[in-house]
Each structure stands twice: as C-alpha cells, then as structure tokens.
Amino acid sequence: MNVRIMALVALVCAAVAAGHAHAVQTVTFANLTRNGVAISGPVFVANGDRVKFDASLVANGASNPPGTAGLGLCLEYKRSAAGDPAIGNLLQTGLVADGVPTALNNCDKAGAAAVAGADFMVVKGWVALSGGWPNVALPVKLYDAQFTLTATPAGPMRIGFGASTAAAGQTFATNGPLLLCGKPMVTLTRNANGSESGAGASITAAFPANGLTTLVTISAMPVMDGLAEGSETVTLTVAAGNGNYAGVGNIASGSIADSAPPPAVVEYLDTADFPDSPGGHFFYSSDPAEQAAVDAGAAGQFHRTGREFLTGGTAPVCRFYGSLAPGPNSHFFTVDIAECDALKAAQITPAPATVQQWNYERIEYFSTPAIAAANGARSCPPNTQPLYRAYNNAFPPSGPRNPWDSNHRFTPVQADIAAMVDLGWRDEGIAFCTAQ
C-alpha cells in the first residue's frame, strides 16, 4: 500500500493594527491563552479548544486617574462557532449593567467599528456620575472571558470589543479584533488495502501484516494567500507492525510554512536611454535592494510605471541579461524550463565580443507555468492570473533586424499589450501565470 499525506492549509488570519486617537477609552486583549497556554494572535483553534483573555482598560480619557464617567463595553462574537463566553472576575466598581448574551446591536458608539462576522454580544457597563471611574491607576482588568469553541472555524473568525456607550467627548479604541483560524486539516488517501484513522494535526496509518509497502510520504501544500502567519507541523504516526513491518512504529513529521508575503515584481521603463526603441525599454525586478538602486538612478533613467505583479508558485523564473556591447542591452525572463535550459546551452563562455547572446544571471523568483491545451491555447490554473508578454520586434519574423536591442514587456493588463502592438511590438500571448 502506498500512502500519501496531503496537507491543505488555508491560513487566512492576519494581524489587524488599530490606531489610537487622542482622549480615548481603550480596552485591549491581554493575557491571551489557548487551552491554558499563553499565545499571541492570530490563534489557530479547533472544536473544543478554550480561548481565554482579559479585557484590560488601558486608557480612560485625558487623565489617569480620575478618568471618565463610565463605559458600556460590548464583547462581540459569532455564536455558532464560538459559543457564549464564560465571564469571570468582573470589576464591580461602578458596575450598573451585567448583560447576558443577546443579538448584536448598538455597539458602534464613540467610533467603535462593528466586528466583521459577529452576530452576538455581551454588554457590561460601568458608570460613576461624579466622574473619575474607575478611580484607580490604569491599566485595570474589567473581566476575563473564556470561549470554548463549538466548531472549528472554516475561515477567519473575529472576537472583538465595541462600545454601547462612552464618556462624553471620548472615542473608543481597542487592539482587536482577535482573529481565530481553523487548525490545518490533514487528509489521508490510500489504495485498496490498509486502514487509516485520525484527523486534525495528527493521523495514524496501520498497514496489513506482511504487506508490500516500502514508502510513506508526507506532502505539505500550503495555500498561498499572500499573508504571513508562521508555520504549522503535520505528524504522521506509523503504527507498530509485524511481519514485514516489525519494529516500524516510527514518527515522521512535515512542516507547513506560510512564509512572508510574496514580494512584488516592479515594472520599470526607460525611454531616454533607448530613444531608437519604440516605446523604450522595460525592466523587471523582485529584489527590494535592486529596486532601491534602480530608483536611485544606478541603472540609468528607468522609472516605475506603476505596474506590479506578485511572485509565488512552484516553478523558477530564469533571468538572463545580454550586455552593453555587443548586446542585447536588455533582460529576459522565462518560466519555461526547456527554454531556460536551451538559452543556457547556447551561451558561450567567455562571452564573445562581437556576437549577441543571452547570459544566465539567476533564478529571479518563482511563478506558475501556463496550461497549454491541445490546440495550443494557453490558460492559467485557479488562483492565478495571466501575465502577458510582448516583444519589440528587434528581430522581426521576416526581413532585416531593426536598429534596436531586443526587449520584452510583461504585464497582467491586456490593454498594455494592445498599446505596445500599436507601437509595432508583437503580442506573444500568455508568458506564465502570477499569484492573485
């Protein structure tokens, strides 16, 4: 039996930054734990996990103390996934409203933003008519709340604070919402024999006695979303066996890393240094250091066009450069492995002084090849978009070469290609596919 572990992880949580205005009443999430272990957001959870935090008042108007007259604090959440919170250690000073779970409404006072996806709330209110609530040095704990998840979130779920009332002249602020994401789900596929059990972050494979299995593979495949959330680990436990499997019982692990947001490829154009080339010369870079150098004028009079596209994929994009002389004084990029290898094979070392050639520089970034149909039409896989290519016809399909160096434009916008065709360039269709 051949077993393949396929880990599909859609990590879509991302930290939300909140700005604070002057003269605010600010309540923040503090002492965050999951199942009793201290963590930081975003939080990866599954059905049954316990998420606990303190509601901490850290600012309360212009002075501290005496502070303001009071606050109506809303705790907002999605009831079907989070369940109702257990609230404890409630601050009794000035307490006038000890609400119970109810449908969400009227929690947008003093500039509070509605928590996306929330449909229920618990409101706790405090007041001191003479002012100065809570009349102690801040920060002060208003209460602690614990949610026991009744379902694993299918997407990002938010728990946040709002205000049903606030002190006169004050705005409300928070460091939330707190984002909860479902833990990675692992599925196991198999052929006709053997049995598997388990779900979530661990799964167990049991093999038949005296079977023929010699290979167990874990394949981790994060879903690209352009966000940075850290990493998760998938573990495959191979059950102890007999016969051919005597003494197996080992544990194999695979890491799923959702890395930093993919860098953007920046498009540059230089018409001043390439006056003979119709439309000028285009250049592309995914390297922030190189982009800074080009912006500073290190490569001539290239300037940003405003066009960008994302890196990200499984196939390397090869980068080639000609030369100042004999040329071509231009760069070329390809995700086609065969084309990359062919250009490498044609490269003469040392570079000839009178013959133009493309010289391999490096893998510039990773992207996704286009899908070619039987009729030659090209398209892009799901979650990607086409990157079109145009050529400036330095070497036209027929007739003598033109008096300018070869150059290509890569763009996700078809109108850009049409504009280049109007200048005499050749539309070369979809070059490859970029992340959306």
CATH number of the domain to which 144 belongs:
2.60.40
Indicate if 37 and 115 belong to the same structural domain.
yes
- Are the C-beta atoms of residues 156 and 196 closer than 8 Å to each other? no
Indicate if 316 and 200 belong to the same structural domain.
no
Number of domains composing the chain = 3
Whole-angstrom CA distances from 171 to 21, 26, 161, 413 are: 7, 8, 13, 43
Which one-letter amino acid corresponds to residue 280? G
- Are the C-beta atoms of residues 283 and 294 closer than 8 Å to each other? yes
Give the Cα separation of 72 and 57 in Å (integer). Answer: 12
- 294's tokens: 């080009």
Indicate if 76 and 127 belong to the same structural domain.
yes
Indicate if 357 and 250 belong to the same structural domain.
no
Work out the burial of residue 311: count CB atoms within 10 Å of its CB; fewer than 13 is exposed, 13-18 middle, 19 or more buried.
middle
Indicate if 318 and 396 belong to the same structural domain.
yes
- 12 assigned to some structural domain: no
Place of tokens 């004028």: 297
Indicate if 241 and 352 belong to the same structural domain.
no
Work out the burial of residue 250: count CB atoms within 10 Å of its CB; fewer than 13 is exposed, 13-18 middle, 19 or more buried.
exposed
In this prediction, residue 139 carries a pLDDT of 93
Indicate if 215 and 282 belong to the same structural domain.
no
Give the Cα separation of 301 and 83 in Å (integer). Answer: 60
Indicate if 200 and 148 belong to the same structural domain.
no
Indicate if 136 and 254 belong to the same structural domain.
no
In this prediction, residue 170 carries a pLDDT of 87
Question: Measuring CA to CA, which residue among 309, 287, 319, 334 is closest to residue 416?
Answer: 309
- 274's tokens: 């390439």
The pairing of beta strand 178-182 with beta strand 43-45: parallel
Give the Cα separation of 390 and 376 in Å (integer). Answer: 18
- Picking from 176, 210, 233, the residue at the C-terminal end of a domain is 176
The pairing of beta strand 303-310 with beta strand 264-270: antiparallel
Instruction: Tabulate helix, strand, coil % of the chain (nearest 5).
Output: 10, 45, 45
Indicate if 230 and 340 belong to the same structural domain.
no
Each residue's pLDDT expressed in tens, for the chain with a length of 436 residues? 223 333 333 333 444 434 444 578 999 999 999 889 887 766 777 789 899 999 999 988 765 555 678 899 999 999 998 999 999 999 999 999 999 999 999 999 999 988 989 999 999 999 987 778 888 888 999 999 999 999 887 777 899 999 999 888 889 999 888 888 776 444 443 333 334 444 444 555 555 544 444 444 444 333 333 334 444 444 555 555 444 444 444 444 444 444 456 789 999 999 999 999 999 999 999 999 999 999 999 999 999 999 999 988 888 999 999 998 898 999 999 999 999 999 999 999 888 888 999 999 999 998 999 999 999 899 999 889 999 999 999 999 998 999 999 999 999 999 999 999 999 999 999 999 998 7
Give the Cα separation of 404 and 393 in Å (integer). Answer: 9
How many Å from the N-terminal Cα to the C-terminal Cα in the chain? Answer: 38
In this prediction, residue 67 carries a pLDDT of 67
Handedness of CA 38, 43, 44, 45 (dihedral sign): positive
Q: What is the pTM of this model?
A: 0.45
H helices within 244-316, ranges in order? Answer: 288-295
Spatial neighbors of 84 by CB under 8 A, at least 6 apart, are: 101, 120, 122
Indicate if 120 and 62 belong to the same structural domain.
yes
- Picking from 225, 258, 291, the residue at the C-terminal end of a domain is 258
Handedness of CA 40, 42, 46, 49 (dihedral sign): positive
- Picking from 156, 176, 196, the residue at the C-terminal end of a domain is 176
- Are the C-beta atoms of residues 121 and 102 closer than 8 Å to each other? yes
- 5 assigned to some structural domain: no
Indicate if 296 and 172 belong to the same structural domain.
no
- 96 assigned to some structural domain: yes
Residue-number span of the structural domain to which 193 is assigned: 184-258
Which one-letter amino acid corresponds to residue 199? A
- 3 assigned to some structural domain: no
In this prediction, residue 17 carries a pLDDT of 39
The pairing of beta strand 37-38 with beta strand 251-258: unpaired
Question: Measuring CA to CA, which residue among 340, 339, 359, 362 is closest to residue 349?
Answer: 359
- Are the C-beta atoms of residues 340 and 363 closer than 8 Å to each other? no
